[in-house]
Structure 1
Amino acid sequence: MPPVSQAPNPTPLYPWGVPPSPPEKSRVGLMAGIIGGVFLLIVALLATLVLVGKKIDSSYPPAESTLTAPGTLLDGHYKLAKDDSPTLGPSLEKSWRLSWDAKAVHGVVVAYHPSGGDRGELIVTGMYGRFRNTGEVRSRVLAGNGSRHTEVKVIVAPMDVTPSGSRIRVSCEEVTRSWADGKALSYPVCAWADGNTWARVAYMTVYTARSLDLESAARITLQIRSEMVKPIK
């Protein structure tokens, strides 16, 4: 009986033994990767914010003019009586600080008295800086005229009364103001707004209250603007 042949020994799969398990990934490397990714994300966000900021800034006109308080107005017919800009200007600036239509603003609040026999005062409240959407700015200026002062009531709603040929739009309204002693005065209030300035002019004198219509007040407002707005040197 022939001997039973034996199968040859199978070749081992790993002739030098079973290889060790791969080492676990280093936690230090993993954390470094996460931190690096977060850093790149922050850099990208900052770059985007810078670009957006530049785009927004470019939408405002350059600062070329300022609003001054000359000693006289309207060819000397009104003399500067009080400049409240240092005390009332900051609160005016604060109220516009969050506006998307205003940037780098400075408040101006001045009162002029007539140099003739008229009684009362002409009050100019305004700002200089950088403004866009000037139509909306002009509307806001007049809309806030009666809302902040309960003794002031609007009797003729604001309307565009820009004189023919003027590139600066002017809106005017008529208001009435009452005092504790029972006295009252109705008078016109006009406002302009351009890329660098806006102002609200209240004609609170007895003569203007009796004789000045809104169209005439708009023309005088443009003259006041020409005397108060000066180029930045």
Structure 2
Amino acid sequence: MPPSPQQPPYPNQPGSPYGQQSPYGQQSPYGQQSPYGQPQPQNPGPYGGSPYPQQGPQPGGPQQPPYQGWGGMPPVVPPPPKKSRVGLILGIVGGVVVLIVGGLVALGAIGYKAATTFPDAKNKLTLPKTLLDDKYTFSKDLSGADGQAIESEANSSWNAKDVHAVVGTYTLGGDATKGNLVVSGMYGRFKDADQIRRNMMKGGAENAGTTVAVPVKDFDLDVTISCEVLVQDQAGTKITMPSCAWADGNTAATIAIVDMSSMSQDPSQVDLAALAKETLQVRSEAIKPIG
């Protein structure tokens, strides 16, 4: 008997206008027929896979292991990244810059003394491309940012005139993680160089969080070099900071050398005599005639 006019042809019969149709009148949007009239979901479950266990590799891209449920192993969480060694060193170098710039700023607090004649301006302090026989490579000029306070205070003191600040950092072989050298100084016309040098040492020691571990020692070389060892507390860590300074009629500067091997060194073990000789060499390489 032919089918009733009200009944559509059997869904699998050729010529059906509905293609592959459910016997319950619903077409599966997922391309396969559900035996119960509901589409069989093929989209991934909420955890990256089908909600039904899958066996074997699945086509269509990289495979993910099936979700293990609450009783399975938790996902592996990578450890937090280690702190940057460069960031640590640069933070310490920044503390050294503040320390020795503070020593120069303290010049403005020098008391009154009978005026004497200012020397002629013959030499200037520079930041060469390298220092200590090319051992340290120039890194950054901080004269503009940190030098303004030096110039303002020094020009208001009784024994400094026509002051220009010079502040720069150097890295050991171009690598900040191996070592750093900081130069903080000025050039101009200075009276009583000995007093300037002593106040540079005193000013650095008066910075907050800083204590004097080894008092100032003077080394009589071509000029007098004064050195000391300070200890600074940076975020709960004690940092050993040896520094040396010189001052003459035209130039004055403090030198500090910082590296990972010395920043935790016992202050009493610091070789200040060797640092004084390096400071004298920095002076000879950084001073240039004016003109």
Please list, as runs of the form range in 1=range in 2, the aligned pairs for 1:189-228 lying within 5 A after superposition: 189-209=243-263, 210=265, 212-228=270-286
Percent of pairs with identical residues: 39
Q: Which moved more, 1:204-213 or 1:153-162?
A: 204-213
* Structure whose residues are more often helix by fraction: 1
What is aligned with 1:137? 196
Maintained 8 Å contact 2:227/2:244: yes
Asked whether the 8 Å contact 2:137–2:174 carries over to 1, the reply is no
Which moved further from structure 2: 79-88 or 190-199?
79-88
* Number of equivalences: 173
Code of the aligned partner of 2:230: V
Q: Which residue of 1 aligns with 2:242?
A: 188
Among residues 152, 171, 174, which one is paired with 2:210 in the alignment? 152
TM-score, structure 1 as length reference: 0.69
Which AA in structure 2 matches 1:83? D
Give the root-mean-square deviation of aligned CA atoms. 2.0
Q: Take 2:233 and 2:178, find their aligned partners in 1: how far apart are those partners?
A: 16
Structure 1 unmatched ranges of 5 or more: 1-54
- Which has the higher mean CA deviation after the structures are superposed, 204-213 or 171-180? 204-213
User: What SS class does the counterpart of residue 133 from structure 2 fall into?
Assistant: coil
Partner of 1:78: 136
Q: Among 66, 76, 87, which residue is 2:124 paired with? A: 66
Q: State how far apart, in whole Å, the 2-side matches of 1:121 and 1:146 are.
A: 20
CA distance in structure 1 between the aligned counterparts of 2:231 and 2:220, rounded to whole angstroms:
22
Bigger relative contact order (CA 8 A; separation at least 6): 1
1:159: Cα distance to partner?
1.7
Query: Gapped runs of 5+ residues in structure 2?
Result: 1-113
Q: Give the deviation of 1:212 after TM superposition.
A: 4.7
Query: Offset of 1:178 from its aligned partner?
Result: 2.2
Partner of residue 147 from structure 2, selected from 53, 74, 89:
89
Contact residue 225 and residue 276 of structure 2 kept, 8 A? yes
Counterparts of 1:133 and 1:223, CA distance in 2 = 22
Q: 1:155 to 1:130 in 2, by over 3 A?
A: same
> Residues 137-183 of structure 1, C-alpha deviation per residue, up to 9 Å, x if partnerless?
00011111021x313321111121223xx2x1110001112211x33
Instruction: Note if contact 2:162-2:189 (Cα within 8 Å) is conserved in structure 1.
Output: yes
